[in-house]
Amino acid sequence: MLIMSCNIRCSCAHDGPNGWPYRKNLCAHVLRARAPEIICFQEMQQDQCYDLSGLLPDYQAFAMTDTPGGTHPVNCIFYRRAAYTCISAGGYWLSLTPHVAGSKAWDSACVRLANWLQLEDAAINTTFRIVNTHLDHVSQVAREHQATLIVEDAQAYPSDYPQILTGDLNCDATNRAIAIVKKGGWTDTYGAIHGTAEPGHTYHAFLGAQAADTTGKMDWIFMRGRGQIRAAEIIRDSVAGRFPSDHYFVSATLDLGRMP
């Protein structure tokens, strides 16, 4: 299966010619060209969810709003309805009170959460779990605690149960938050295929290779449990010099195998 993680840049940003109305079709074009089974978004707003649901009609969407009474499905997950059946769905806030909607802690600049799906692939008689998140962009302490919560949640499942973690973690491979995730049993799909060398930035401010950002690869796909990593890529697709987002999308091809 092909998984993509896509920070699509919120539609509320004042991006001029790179605003959402001018790139939504480009975004859908890039996604359709790759034909992933699962797409995990970050920064999604309600209008973006509506737009992409119409432009990508083969997918079912699941999300949770980040604040009580909110309308924005910030960490929305799209999955091919013909390929998978949703067994269970949920989420939690990355805070001291994960069950309290809209809660935050550790000087996190924003409310952060993780949502997840447990899907069944009847073709190979396998169920698996996919978790999508977006760690804080300011507080390092928050990133570390948020990563710890995600690790603890995943460890409630059997060690061989297939799980996939996607998201914009707002830090690169040198950051302690990434070390926490890896120590918690998650394998970096990109590193497993390409080695540990820093592959360059994934945030590029709509500038592509011309970007001066030095943050490094902040968009990630991890896996744990039974399965094989077949491929991984930073997707630098553009059309006429225009990009679908201010982040490169990332992908991983995984083989979860047939359940014994």
Whether residue 260 lies inside any domain: the answer is no
How far is it, in rounded angstroms, from Cα 230 to Cα 136? 30
pLDDT tens digits, residue range 192-244?
Answer: 999 976 788 999 999 998 887 667 899 999 999 999 999 999 999 999 999 99
- Per the structure, the complete domain to which residue 60 belongs is given by 2-255
How far is it, in rounded angstroms, from Cα 70 to Cα 125? 37
Angle between helices 46-55 and 20-34 (to 10 degrees): 40
The pTM for the full model equals: 0.96
pLDDT tens digits, residue range 166-192?
Answer: 999 999 999 999 999 999 999 999 999
Whether residue 35 lies inside any domain: the answer is yes
pLDDT tens digits, residue range 135-164?
Answer: 999 999 999 999 999 999 999 999 999 999
Q: Look at the chain and report how many structural domains it folds into.
A: 1
- Whole-angstrom Cα Rg for the chain: 17
Please state, as a whole number, how many other Cβ atoms lie within 10 Å of the Cβ of residue 53.
14
Whether residue 112 lies inside any domain: the answer is yes
Q: Can you give the pLDDT at residue 257?
A: 79
- Strands 113-121 and 126-134 come out as antiparallel
Q: Which helix (H) or strand (E) holds 191?
A: helix 189-194
Q: Can you give the pLDDT at residue 215?
A: 79
Whether residue 73 lies inside any domain: the answer is yes
Whether residue 97 lies inside any domain: the answer is yes
The enclosing domain of 177 has a CATH number of 3.60.10.10
pLDDT tens digits, residue range 9-44?
Answer: 999 999 999 999 999 999 999 999 999 999 999 999
Say yes or no to pLDDT of 99 above 70: yes
Looking from the CA of 173 toward its CB, the CA atoms found within 13 Å total 18
How many helices and strands, by DSSP H and E, does the chain display? Answer: 5, 12
